[in-house]
Amino acid sequence: MSDRTTHFSALTGTETAQRLALLEAQLAALFEVSSVLSRSLNLRETLREVLGVLHERSRLSHGMVCLVDDERGELLISAIHGSDAAALERVRYQRGEGVLGRILSTNEAWILPRIADEPRFLDRLNVYDATLPFIGVPIRVGNSGAIGVFAAQPPAGAELLAERARFLEMVANLIGQAVRLARTVEAEQQALREERDKLRREVKGSHGFDSIIGRANAMRLVFEQVRQVAKWNTTVLIRGESGTGKELIANAIHYNSPRARAAFIKLNCAALPDNLLESELFGHEKGAFTGAVAQRKGRFEQADGGTLFLDEIGEISPAFQAKLLRVLQEGEFERVGGGRTLKVDVRVIAATNRDLEAEVRAGEFREDLYYRLNVMPIRMPALRERIEDVPELARFLVNKVARLQGRELTITDSALRVLLRYDWPGNVRELENCMERAAVMSEQGVIDREVIQLTGIEVSGSDVDVAPAPSVGAGGAPSAVDWNDPDLDERERVIAALEEAGWVQAKAARLLNMTPRQIAYRIQTLNIRVRQF
């Protein structure tokens, strides 16, 4: 074998060894890069860590990742090793501008054996060694064009630049997948945030003051109290008869308070016995009792940072009142079967229809718990105390039933005048039931006086003793009937006149400028049932 052949064989063996060593180092670096990319969805932080791995494992200095800004189409620096990317945010490249811009526009890798020999290298970062090689490769996602550029500078005397470029392309593919995943997650999170904000606006709107009907002075006082107390973390006790809307007020307080973004948890204290009530409020540990197969958080933990609404608070036993008092005073409790003390930040809103003062005097309700709850009392008036709100409430409830039944429903003024004569011992809940029954009884979708009378409500006292009910205006408040109103149909006009006249037909005829015979004929043809006195 000649000396030249021997020398060529030696070179070939050396090059092979270099290739194997480079391949081994690249495989190790590639494994670590893939591990880094799978650990976090924080793209900037992950890219900086990847560039650090390449610097240590593959001796690729000044590694840089640039991504396209979708809004402007410019190439911006997302991460760079050895320099602060935030300080280089103003450095931008247009498509086709300089080396990086050309890699982006051509979607092809570019190897510079020596930076100083390429006049298109702009060196805006002023971090690269002009005497060393430079490799830049496109970052791709799927079959689309380049979304960015990944570049680095091999060490001095580096050989096998083509092999190093292929390694950078493999890393760029991994980076592209990480970018796609991060952007997908960000898009989904943004969609969820928008949906969350939309739902919050809808919930706040549905539980705001506008959703609570009330023009009476008693309700205006309630609204003012709610507006004031919602700003603070004060404990609230809502008093009032059943069916007056205490839960609506609790909703309004929470969703108009600084805690509106946190949980609003509800519990009816009358629905559970003491042993279950304790577990429901405070939670329990696994094995605390038969059937406790797993640890469970109670309502206080679920409401941490938010609001807990305790309805029917007057129904709890004296034994449980002491346990509740501690968490109200200290914000501390233990789960059932647990020994660890838990601390929570919860605003409590309680409600009751009972006379707590009388129960305190009788020794049935703890005085200290009463004063702990009765920090800010709000009294909900009974419906009979704000009878002028009945027409507006009735119209609202009729529209609600109409949506549920999927049809058009209307309620006439004569029906509203009947509702105004009733004292509503069941309050708004009874009115809602009445409107639902009336809707069922109304085949044509018009709820009039006769339909209301079919629902079973009875005007308190005898009809003779009850003063004629005033007619109802559009705003819901009583008002005088405009006999010349073109929107008032004939039947409604006759009924209104009869009610105004105390069902004396001659008097009603004079109101309508009719003769007694004419009004009697209309009563018969319009199928008006005459009230007998």
Could you write out the DSSP letters of every residue in 131-199?
Answer: TS-EEEEEEE-TTS-EEEEEEEEPPTT---HHHHHHHHHHHHHHHHHHHHHHHHHHHHHHHHHHHHHHH
Question: 198 burial class (0-12, 13-18, 19+ CB within 10 angstroms)?
Answer: exposed
The predicted model gives 22-36 an average pLDDT of 78
Q: Quick one: CA dihedral 414, 417, 422, 427, positive or negative? A: positive
Q: What is the pLDDT of residues 417-454, one digit of tens each?
A: 889 889 899 999 999 999 999 999 998 899 988 899 88
Give domain 385-525's CATH number out of 1.10.8.60, 3.30.9.10, 1.10.10.10, 1.20.140.10: 1.10.8.60
Q: Looking at residue 456, what DSSP letter applies?
A: T
The answer as to CATH 3.40.50.300 being correct for domain 209-381 is yes
Domain parsing of the chain, residue ranges:
12-185, 209-381, 385-525
Write down the pTM of the prediction: 0.60
Determine the pLDDT at residue 485. Answer: 65
CA distance 447 to 432: 14
Length, in residues, of the chain: 533
DSSP string, 394-440: HHHHHHHHHHHHTS--EE-HHHHHHHHT---TTHHHHHHHHHHHHHH
Position 6 pLDDT exceeds 50 = no
How confident is residue 13, by pLDDT bands cut at 50, 70 and 90?
low
Query: Within 10 A of 421 (CB to CB), how many other CB atoms are there?
Result: 19
The percentage of the chain sitting over the pLDDT mark of 70, rounded to a whole number, equals 86
Determine the pLDDT at residue 465. Answer: 33
Task: Out of 161-170, 452-461, 519-528, pick the least confident.
Answer: 452-461
Q: What is the pLDDT of residues 318-337, one digit of tens each?
A: 888 988 998 998 888 888 88
The predicted model gives 395-419 an average pLDDT of 92
The answer as to CATH 2.40.160.40 being correct for domain 12-185 is no
Q: What is the pLDDT of residues 92-115, one digit of tens each?
A: 888 888 898 899 889 999 999 888
Q: Quick one: CA dihedral 278, 283, 288, 290, positive or negative? A: positive
Position 478 pLDDT exceeds 60 = no
Report in angstroms the alpha-carbon separations of 126 from 83, 91, 104, 130, 509: 11, 11, 20, 10, 101
Determine the pLDDT at residue 94. Answer: 86
Task: Out of 64-68, 173-177, 488-492, 520-524, pick the least confident.
Answer: 488-492
